[in-house]
Amino acid sequence: MKRIVSGIQPTGNLHLGNYLGAVKNWVDLQNSKDYEIYFFIADLHSLTGKLEASKLKEQTKILIAELLALGIDHKKVVFFRQSDVVGHTDLAWIFDCVTPVSELYRMTQFKDKSGNQPKNINSGLLTYPILQAADILLYQGELVPVGEDQVQHVELTRDIARWFNNKYGQYFVETKAKLTHIPRVKSLLAPDKKMSKSLGEGHVIDLADEPEVILKKLNKAVTATEGGGESMGVANLLLLLKEFADKKTYESFVRAEKDKTIRYGDLKKVLAENIAEHFKEFRKKRAEYLKNSVKLEKIMADGAKKAQKQAEKTMAEVRKLVGLR
């Protein structure tokens, strides 16, 4: 069976970008039963950002609850917290030593994040993709379901596996990103950019947003056209409508957009209703999970135990290959 590995940082509540670009796919892949799957909370990666310790802890709990509420099933996949497993940072160090630093400076995310946090360009921000490669290869992950912004990191993972294999002998598998049909959801307020928390609250719709919040955010979404064509903002809203509304509703708005009879206020209202309805159960389950910290911790502990087994096997073999044992 092919191995799937993916992670997500506990930096904020899940939003529509995370969902449509990655997590919805995680649930589908899990339920297809064709793969052996490892999903984890990338808490070590989020230390490169600006979260305070107490906030990181709180967001981790929320992310665990949200993933379970979306249908991640700890009985079908190995679901764990990165920092609970010994091996991720060990393997990352070994990969540090085969990765040219020039390759890290090329990474788009490194450039973006250093721009966003010029006073905190820590080393972790630069070596971030090496830890990501370790996350994947510790479990010999072949497929990595992520959004488009992570493709470059997955490609670097493939390079790192090759550099390692060339130096120490064939060991790691080839890794490939697995994208959804919406690999890049756009921001509501700046639809030339990807939907991202770092742009500000108004740019994203959280899965946990209450119906009135969703409508309020959508009402402010940019629909202005440039040069007479369909605007990027409208295209993004229609894409969301296609995902969350029934076919008839979607097609009627597409037709209206073509005829230029569309009323964006109506589009936003219908879209808001459909999104709110789609995540109604999710909001309920999320609240229930959040009340049960003990259960969440137990799930993490069980997951870590399973992940640790595979991690230990890989690390024992890697230590031998590189001459440490």
Active site (catalytic) residues? 113, 194, 197
Number of residues that bind ligand TRP (CB under 6 A): 14
Residue from 29, 63, 134, 185 touching ligand AMP (CB under 6 A): that is 185
- Do strands 78-81 and 176-178 pair parallel, antiparallel, or not at all (unpaired)? unpaired
Q: Is 129 in the site for ligand AMP (CB under 6 A)?
A: no
Give the one entry of ligand TRP, ligand AMP, none that residue 144 binds, where binding means its C-beta sits below a cut-off of 5 to 8 angstroms depending on kind.
Answer: ligand TRP
Binding mask 141-180 for ligand AMP (x = CB under 6 A): -----xx-xx------------------------------
For residue 23, give the DSSP letter.
I
- CA dist 292 to 98, 251, 288, Å? 43, 42, 7
Long-range Cβ pairs for the range 230-233 (8 Å, 24+):
230/257, 231/191, 232/186, 232/191, 232/192, 233/186, 233/188, 233/191
Cβ nearer to ligand TRP, comparing 137 with 214? 137
CB 58 within 8 A of CB 283: no
Stretch in the footprint of ligand AMP (CB under 6 A) among 16-24, 134-142, 247-255, 267-275: 16-24
Cβ nearer to ligand AMP, comparing 98 with 286? 286
Show the tokens assigned to 317. Answer: 């073999």
CB 257 within 8 A of CB 270: no
For the chain, the straight-line distance linking the first and the last C-alpha, in angstroms and rounded, comes to 30
Q: Is 8 in the site for ligand TRP (CB under 6 A)?
A: yes
CB of 278 to ligand AMP, least distance (A): 17
Q: Is 138 in the site for ligand TRP (CB under 6 A)?
A: no
Question: Which positions lie near ligand AMP, rule CB under 6 A?
Answer: 8-9, 17-18, 21-22, 146-147, 149-150, 183-185, 194-196
Question: Which positions lie near ligand TRP, rule CB under 6 A?
Answer: 5-9, 42, 45, 132, 135-136, 144, 146, 150, 153
